Amino acid sequence: MAKLRASIIGAAGYTGGESLRLLLGHPEVTVSQITSQSRRGQPAHAAHPNLRRRCDLTFTAREDLEECDILFLCLPHGEAAGTIDRYLGLAPLVIDLSADFRLRDPDAYARWYGHAHPRPDLLGGFIYGLPELHREQLRGASRISGTGCLATTAILGLAPLVASGLVAADPIVLEAKVGSSAGGVTPGSDSHHPERSGALRSFAPFGHRHTGELLQELPPVAGQALKIHFSATAVEAVRGVLVTAHLFLREDIETRRLWQLYRQAYGAEPFIRLVAERQGLYRYPEPKILSGSNFCDIGFAHDREGGRVVVMAALDNLMKGAAGNAVQCMNLALGWPETSGLEFLGLHP
C-alpha cells in the first residue's frame, strides 16, 4: 500500500524540524515538501544538521506548496489563522501546531491573546490534540490543533486528581519551568546567550497564555469550575518542561488511593509513565531523560500533614509538547498504531 504524502509549512523552525525528523522515520508516511520563506532553495540540513544524509529535500516557498494527504502547519503563532482557508484546501488532514486554533471560545481567545481572532467561525472546528483526553474525537478527525507544551504537562499531571473530586477547586497552584527552545528559533534578547546562560527567570508570574487551555480543558474533567493559579519560569535547559502543582485535599486519604487514581487513568496510556520510586536520583519526573521522546512522566508527593498533593509532571516541550504529540494525533486520525514513529525512549545520561 502506498505511503501517504505529508508536507510541512514552516519546516525550518524547531517544531517543524522535529516534525520532519519524526515523519522521515514514520512507516506510513513520505515527506513530499517542506517550506521556509527565509531558507527557500536551501537543503533541509542547513536548518537541521542532525538530518544530514537523511533528508534530501529542499525548502520551498509556501506559495509553491502542492496538494498532499497530510499538512503540518508549524508557523509562528498568529500566522496560520489569516490564511487558513488555503491550507485547508491543500490536504484532507491539517494539523496546526501553533496556538491559533487551540481555544474554542472567541472571547477566551481575545482574553488570553489580546486581540480578536481573525476567523472565529473556525474556532471549535479543530480538535484539541491531546489524545489522553480526546482520543475518540481524534479518530478520523480532519482538523487538529496542537497543544501548548506547558498546558499539556499541567493537564496530564492534574487530570486524574481533579476528576476524582478529592481536591479543592480553589486554589490550584502551578509553577512551570521550561527550556529555551520553547521560545522558538528566532533569536531575541531573552534567548541571547549572555542573558540566558545561568538564568532562572520568571517571565509570567500570572497571565500566561496557556492558562486559557487549562481553563478550557480541566473544568469539564472536574465537572466544576476551577480556580487555577499558573506561573512560568525560564531555565537554562534547551529542552524540557517540569510542572510542579499544589492541590489541596478535601479529606485525609491514604497515599495508595492516589496511586490508584493515576493507574486507573493512565495504566493503558502508551506515552504516560508514572514515576513511583521511593528513593534515588530519579524518584520524581526529570525532563532531562525525556529529551527526544514522546513520554510524559508523572509523579507526586503526598503531604498528609499539610493536606496537599504536590504533583510533578515532565516532558520534552518539542516532542510530547509539540511535534511528537502532533504525530500521535495523526496516527489516531488515520487509524494507524498510536505509537508509530514515536518509539524513541530518550537518553541517559
Catalytic residues: 149
Q: Are residues 311 and 213 in the same domain?
A: yes
At residue 245 the predicted structure's pLDDT band, cuts being 50, 70 and 90, is very high
Flag whether 342 is in a domain: no
Res 196: pLDDT: 84
**Average pLDDT for 170-198:** 88
Q: CA 346, CA 320: separation in Å to the nearest integer?
A: 12
State how many domains the chain has. 2
* DSSP output for 227-239: -EEEEEEEES-SS
Backbone angles phi, psi at 169, to 5 degrees: -75, -20
* Domain annotation covers residue 157: yes
- Asked if 124 and 186 sit in the same domain, the reply is no
Split at pLDDT 50, 70, 90, the class of 188 is confident
Q: What is the CATH number of the domain that holds 279?
A: 3.30.360.10
254 close to 302: Cβ distance less than 8 angstroms: no
Pair 332, 131: CB distance under 8 Å: yes
Distance CA 329, CA 131 (A): 7
Across the chain, what does the average pLDDT equal?
96
Alpha helices in 165-249 (DSSP H): 193-196, 211-222
346 part of a folded domain: no
Averaged pLDDT for residues 280-290: 96
Q: What percent of the chain has pLDDT over 70?
A: 100
Nearest to 31 by CA among 50, 3, 52: 3
The pLDDT tens digits for 314-339 are 999 999 999 999 999 999 999 999 99
CATH number at residue 79: 3.40.50.720
Does the pLDDT at position 222 exceed 90? yes
Does position 300 have pLDDT exceeding 80, yes or no? yes
Mark whether 191 and 226 lie in a shared domain: yes
DSSP 315-336: E-TTTTTTHHHHHHHHHHHTT-
According to the model, what pLDDT value does residue 197 have?
87
Whole-angstrom distance, CA of residue 98 vs CA of residue 94:
12
Q: How far apart are CA 317 and CA 284, in angstroms?
A: 18
Give me the domain span that covers residue 157: 150-315
In a domain, 96, yes or no: yes
Q: Is the pLDDT of residue 190 over 80?
A: no
In which band, very low, low, confident or very high, does the pLDDT at 191 lie, cut at 50, 70 and 90? confident
Give the per-residue pLDDT at 329: 98
The answer to whether 287 and 240 are in contact (CB under 8 A) is yes
Is 193's pLDDT higher than 90? no
pLDDT at 185: 86
Percent of the chain with pLDDT over 90: 93
pTM of the model: 0.97
